[in-house]
Amino acid sequence: EGAYILVGIDYFSRFIVTKTIKDKSSKTVSDVIKEWILLGIYQKHFYPIMERIYE
């Protein structure tokens, strides 16, 4: 279970970095997280995606 949580965090981090690179912006990871929180997007929203990938 601990490894599963680490995979989830790693997946979330990669998703943020990919978004920042795709936008070609100089946003930091914390800027992207703040933006997503304001939009109502949280890390828990990515767990179903992660579960499908790793099943």
Say how far residue 35 (Cα) sits from the centre of its chain. 12
14, pLDDT greater than 50? yes
Q: What pLDDT, on a 0 to 100 scale, did the predictor assign at position 38?
A: 80
Over residues 11-31, mean pLDDT: 67
Place of tokens 């997007």: 41
Q: What pLDDT, on a 0 to 100 scale, did the predictor assign at position 39?
A: 78
Instruction: Give the three-class secondary structure for 48.
Output: helix
Helix intervals (H) in 1-55:
2-23, 29-39, 47-54
The token pair that represents 19 in the structure block: 């978004």
8, pLDDT greater than 60? no
The string of pLDDT tens digits covering residues 22-53 is: 666 666 766 777 777 787 766 665 555 444 44
